[in-house]
Structure 1
Amino acid sequence: MSVQTTLPAGTGEAAAPAQRWRHWDPASLVWLLAIVALLVLVLNPLLRLLVVSFQDDNGAFTLANYAAAYGRMRQLQALANSLLLGVSSGCLCLVFGVPLAWALSRTDMPGKTLIWIAILGTFIIPPYLGAVGWILLAGPNAGWLNRVAVALGASGNPFNIYSMPGLVLVVACYSFPYVVVLTKSALDLVSSEMEDAANILGAGTLRTTLSITLPLVLPAIAGAFILVFLEAIALFGSPALLAIPGRFQVVTTELWQMFEFPPRVGVASAYAMPLLAITVILFWLQRRLISRKGYVSLTGKGGERRPAALGAWKWVALAYCLLVTTLSFFMPLVVICQAAFSKAWGRGFSADNFTLGNVRAIVFENALTRAAALHTFLYAGAASLLAVALAVCIAYVINRELVRPKVGSALAFLTMAPFVVPGIVLAIGFYAAYTRPPLVLYGTAWILVLAFTTRFLPIAYVNSSAAIRSINPELEEAVRTLGGTRLTAIRAVVLPVLKRSLAGAFILVFIPATRELSTAIFLYSINTQVLSVLLFDKSDEGNFEVLASIGLVLVVITVTIILAGFRLMGRDFMLRRTVG
């Protein structure tokens, strides 16, 4: 005898959603909000940038913006100058960086610790502050190098930093560490076996290096050149301080001038497109080159790496390394300190010219600089917290496979996308996206905080993803087996384990956010000025004592933060960031 049970119509359909809701994980709402935030911060500005480039003031489709952007010889010349700057700076960086990397990695050169300190110091000094130092050194009228040259009998002033060669030198001085780090990282993985074989067959150290060692790391060198090229064409601070007074333009300074009142957002968006396209293509090529690991494996097992004995030539190698680091670090830092602690920097080093008044005024007395300093660290701190929080959420979703693999890949791509977008292009995208309804943020602190968050989100994501991968998922599963939710597992297990890594990620975002200029210069208002913008604005006044004092305050605070980072993440965390 069979019994049939008849359910009311629609009961099955109603039960399925109810069953799903009973298994709803509250953490899913957090992941959903994180994904929405990622779309708003990254995708919306870039799409808006593209759309605005094809719109007139009334929102109608037009190609007039592209015609205006490329219809004048001035803009085309600026584009050509940017390409020349990128290629020239890249080549000079190879001349500076490859010998340093080889000397540090493969030789018995003395003084390696000093050279590494100078390279780290070069990372610490913002490029626009380095440009200020070189103005004090090689300004055509009163620069210290010109004074020394005249005193030695030179006719006229032989050095002029306000020129394309001067700009190339300054950009190379603050970009060559990328070449050093990438090339040295590759050289450290190459064993000495093939070099030993070449030496046995009669090849000297120089021939072995040129024919064996450097070809093995050629992908890393080529990748470093591309990275420096991209850095050079995207810089704003150094070109603005040197190119504009030198009466020539590059793409970034042209974009800035397009924002003089009234701002031509559509034309600027159109003019930024080639810069964005070049950056994306070359960055893709650079990653492909760096990802080629075959050049570091010579045998089936790791080989021994022994430094080459240079004999008396080790002092020549040290002298070259000191020359490069003197140009990039020691000389600029000395003249910046001299100007910061002088009543008048042009009077030179003397006891009666020494003063603490400049720094005291910057830190304690000048209301404008106090407000800018407060804004700088408040915005950088808020952006760092937001970037780390968002990066942790996205990294957790991807690494714990809470979404489909294709969706995870798309989220990872969006999170890393700001890394390939020049800061000045991202700023124009934010301006285009958030200066009109439905979300008007321009003129508020939020547009700077969100722009900084987006700009440095990839740094937070790389560190957060690596940290999450190091945690065994079984720890979280144990909590859930005992009745806890996923949020409970994250709060009780994941975050306590991650706190050291998250603090390090916070520092790595905070440092560049405090010195960011290319994004801030487009988005600040009179009430949201930060120190980097203030330093740039003061450059027009020619008060180098104030400029040097502002820069010195930034450097001291950065050094303090980096020392905290050393304790959290190890002594090379700043250098690891550049290749992450």
Structure 2
Amino acid sequence: MKSSGPLSIWRHRLMYAALILVLAYLVVWPLFKLQSLAFENGAAGYRSQYGRADIVTTLQTTAALAFFSLVIAMVCGTVLAFATTRLPRRMGFLRLVPILPIVIPSVANVVGFAFLLSPGPGYINILLRMLPWWSDLNSGPVNVYSPTWIIIITGFSLTSFVYLFVSAGMQNISGEHLEAAQIAGSTTIGTFFKVVLPLLRPSLVYGAGVALLLGLGQFTAPLLLGQNEGVKVLATEMYLRASESPINFAAAAAAGSPLVIMGILVVFGQRALLGNQTRFVTHGGKSFSPVGGSSHWATAIVAVYGLVALILPLAGVIIVSLTPFWSGTLSWDLFTLSNYRALVTTPGIVDSVVTSVVTSIVAVLICVPIGFGVANLMVRRQDLRILRTVADLITALPMGIPAVIFGVGFLLTYTEPPLILYGTKAVIILVYVVLMIPFATRMQLTALISMGDKYEEASAVSGAGPVATMARITLPMLRPTILSSIALMFILLTHEFAASLMVRSATTQVMGTLLYDHWSNGSYTLVAAMAILMSAVTGAGVAVAMLIGGRNVLEKL
């Protein structure tokens, strides 16, 4: 809806230009400052980082982690998306299973696998050593700290993202295609490979791009598990360089340069190939429906994934949290609640929970109006083409560039004049705002596109101005989407780890960063109890999200 009058037009242009400048300062400036530092003094940062003796191994490990975790995620995510379409009606609740790894704290999931698959006291390894094939071993046979298992765990975590894209793509496949394949005598497997997969190509390409970027910038599993075996990737190299004394920001920036370049290339590529709105269009007269009806094998596939990716790691965390120490010996006599009591008495833990909740809420409340402004610009202001394009690219960058890079960028930007925020909650809030801008924008963008402009045109015809129309028509219609986005962003922020680890201080911690400190100090039972606490906070957020937005709210991710 365009405003009439030259003064009104210029006022809106200036308002949107100011919004873009704020976004550019928040998103682009830390990245520019970080990368320019790497080129100072004759590119000393690049010489320092890429002259290290182990840099070739680090690059190879980063590439292997990204590629093989992508393969795992693409296979598992696609199979799960197809399987969930064939679940029996009474098993429909299992459709949530592939999505849950996104909302479960990644640090809790990773330490859960460590408790299960550590070479010595890992519970699954102990059971495996009881089998005749490995009865002669004193440790293993699985080593969770090896690159192979870091890749596998990362692949499981990325599966959810691929599943969301592929599952959404399946809803855009007309049922007529599947019926035609069935009439032609194709089997279920044949239909999947000959009909479904080719039609899913856009979703697969988009999902693969996102999963590839997440794999390249993977931080949590390599940091928590890789230190034992000296496994390094570019993301952890950034953390190590920024944790040195003195801090080597230039080398940290150089380590992240390949990740920034890949992120920008993928973001531009997605915009060029797929556009902004095509993924919201449906096709055909009939929605996607499985050939051959429901299947018990579909139930088995989803259940096995849930067991391996969710239940087993969570069980490992629960067991360790209920024991006085982590060992291979289990007994009912050892179970205790002392670790949970320690959550209250250990300095800093309660404060970290409060900080996590407060910073997450404040960041979300800032993100929502920013997201609405950008979404309104992109949908309603077709006359501001340049501003729309710039806004689209800026808001997409935090999704394509690893959070650890923004963390280092914010650490550099806000530890020196004119705005020194290090050690305060404000810097955590700002980096959280940047990370959540894509979610706030895309969810409201989708809702505005679906709403169309007929309601606003009718309001304008009746004599209402733009502000009155927004207050009486647009915002009330967007209320469910806004509430859902608030709940979902809160869930994601309460267990954010990578960026938080960079901008936290000794006196300002969130749950994930304090958990990492205790993990590094070997306080494994307290780590387990904290992981359960983080999961409980996230679970409360999920419950609120489902209460506000309905059972399908997680699919809006």
When normalised by structure 2's length, the TM-score is: 0.89
1:37 aligns with 2:13: no
Distance 1:294 1:453 in 2: 27
Distance 2:32 2:319 in 1: 47
Contact preservation (8 Å) 1:138, 1:161? yes
**Counterpart code for 2:416:** R
1:127 aligns with 2:106: yes
Once the two structures are superposed, the pairs formed by residues 379-398 of structure 1 within 5 Å of their partners are 379-398=359-378
**Counterpart code for 2:409:** G
- 2:413 corresponds to: 433
Give the counterpart of 1:459 among 429, 433, 439.
439
Contact preservation (8 Å) 2:320, 2:528? yes
When normalised by structure 1's length, the TM-score is: 0.85
Moved over 6 A (4+): 23-30, 292-298
Instruction: After TM superposition, give the deviation of residue 104 of structure 1 in Å.
Output: 1.5
1:354 aligns with 2:338: no
1:185 aligns with 2:168: yes
Any idea what the Cα deviations from partners look like across 1:408-442, whole Å, max 9, x if unmatched? 32223222322222111112222232222222222
- 2:206 corresponds to: 223
**Counterpart code for 1:173:** F
Distance 2:373 2:126 in 1: 56
Distance 2:287 2:108 in 1: 42
Distance 1:369 1:476, change over 3 A: farther
Any idea what the Cα deviations from partners look like across 1:150-199, whole Å, max 9, x if unmatched? 12232312111010111011101111112222222222332344444444
Instruction: After TM superposition, give the deviation of residue 277 of structure 1 in Å.
Output: 0.7
**Counterpart code for 2:418:** P
Give the counterpart of 2:263 among 261, 268, 279.
279
Any idea what the Cα deviations from partners look like across 1:471-517, whole Å, max 9, x if unmatched? 732466478x46x7x55654555444444432222222222111111
- 2:235 corresponds to: 252
Structure 1: state its 5+ residue gaps: 1-18, 57-61
Matched position secondary structure for 1:278? helix
Distance 1:267 1:453 in 2: 26
Instruction: After TM superposition, give the deviation of residue 243 of structure 1 in Å.
Output: 1.3
- 1:14 corresponds to: none
* Bigger CA radius of gyration: 1
Distance 2:377 2:438 in 1: 16
Give the counterpart of 2:430 among 440, 447, 450.
450
1:77 aligns with 2:27: no
1:342 aligns with 2:323: yes
Contact preservation (8 Å) 2:48, 2:251? yes
Any idea what the Cα deviations from partners look like across 1:79-122, whole Å, max 9, x if unmatched? 221111010001111232222211222x3557643532322332
Distance 1:286 1:400 in 2: 22
* Identity over aligned pairs, percent: 23
1:262 aligns with 2:242: no
Is 324-333 or 389-398 further displaced after alignment?
A: 389-398
Distance 2:91 2:148 in 1: 29
Contact preservation (8 Å) 1:216, 1:295? no
Matched position secondary structure for 2:336? coil
Distance 1:207 1:140, change over 3 A: same
Distance 2:66 2:380 in 1: 40
Is 386-395 or 246-255 further displaced after alignment?
A: 386-395
Is 466-475 or 216-225 further displaced after alignment?
A: 466-475
Distance 1:295 1:237 in 2: 30
Instruction: After TM superposition, give the deviation of residue 28 of structure 1 in Å.
Output: 8.1
**Counterpart code for 1:511:** I
Distance 1:26 1:224, change over 3 A: closer
Distance 1:516 1:438 in 2: 27
- 1:512 corresponds to: 492
Once the two structures are superposed, the pairs formed by residues 149-548 of structure 1 within 5 Å of their partners are 149-153=128-132, 154=134, 155-156=136-137, 157-259=140-242, 260-286=244-270, 301-303=284-286, 305-309=288-292, 314-346=295-327, 350-362=331-343, 364-401=344-381, 404-469=384-449, 470=451, 472-474=455-457, 477=460, 481=463, 487=467, 490-491=470-471, 494-548=474-528
RMSD: 3.1
**Counterpart code for 1:405:** R
Contact preservation (8 Å) 2:372, 2:444? yes
Instruction: After TM superposition, give the deviation of residue 20 of structure 1 in Å.
Output: 8.7
Distance 1:474 1:348 in 2: 70
Contact preservation (8 Å) 1:338, 1:345? no
Contact preservation (8 Å) 2:267, 2:396? no
Instruction: After TM superposition, give the deviation of residue 44 of structure 1 in Å.
Output: 1.6
**Counterpart code for 2:262:** I
1:147 aligns with 2:126: yes
Is 493-502 or 437-446 further displaced after alignment?
A: 493-502
Contact preservation (8 Å) 2:74, 2:208? yes
Distance 1:276 1:424 in 2: 11
**Counterpart code for 1:181:** L
Instruction: After TM superposition, give the deviation of residue 467 of structure 1 in Å.
Output: 4.0
Is 348-357 or 253-262 further displaced after alignment?
A: 348-357
Distance 1:32 1:290, change over 3 A: closer
Instruction: After TM superposition, give the deviation of residue 250 of structure 1 in Å.
Output: 0.7
Is 350-359 or 421-430 further displaced after alignment?
A: 350-359
Instruction: After TM superposition, give the deviation of residue 142 of structure 1 in Å.
Output: 0.7
1:567 aligns with 2:547: yes
Contact preservation (8 Å) 2:360, 2:429? yes
Distance 2:297 2:471 in 1: 56
**Counterpart code for 1:148:** L
Give the counterpart of 1:96 among 46, 60, 76.
76
**Counterpart code for 1:136:** F
Distance 1:52 1:70, change over 3 A: same
**Counterpart code for 1:548:** A
Distance 1:574 1:100 in 2: 16
- 2:34 corresponds to: 49
Contact preservation (8 Å) 1:460, 1:508? no
Distance 2:43 2:53 in 1: 18
Matched position secondary structure for 2:229? coil
Distance 1:88 1:272, change over 3 A: same
Instruction: After TM superposition, give the deviation of residue 255 of structure 1 in Å.
Output: 1.0
Distance 1:148 1:303 in 2: 50
Matched position secondary structure for 2:422? coil
Contact preservation (8 Å) 2:84, 2:302? no
Contact preservation (8 Å) 1:227, 1:283? no
Matched position secondary structure for 2:167? helix
Distance 2:180 2:473 in 1: 52
Instruction: After TM superposition, give the deviation of residue 346 of structure 1 in Å.
Output: 3.2
**Counterpart code for 1:78:** T
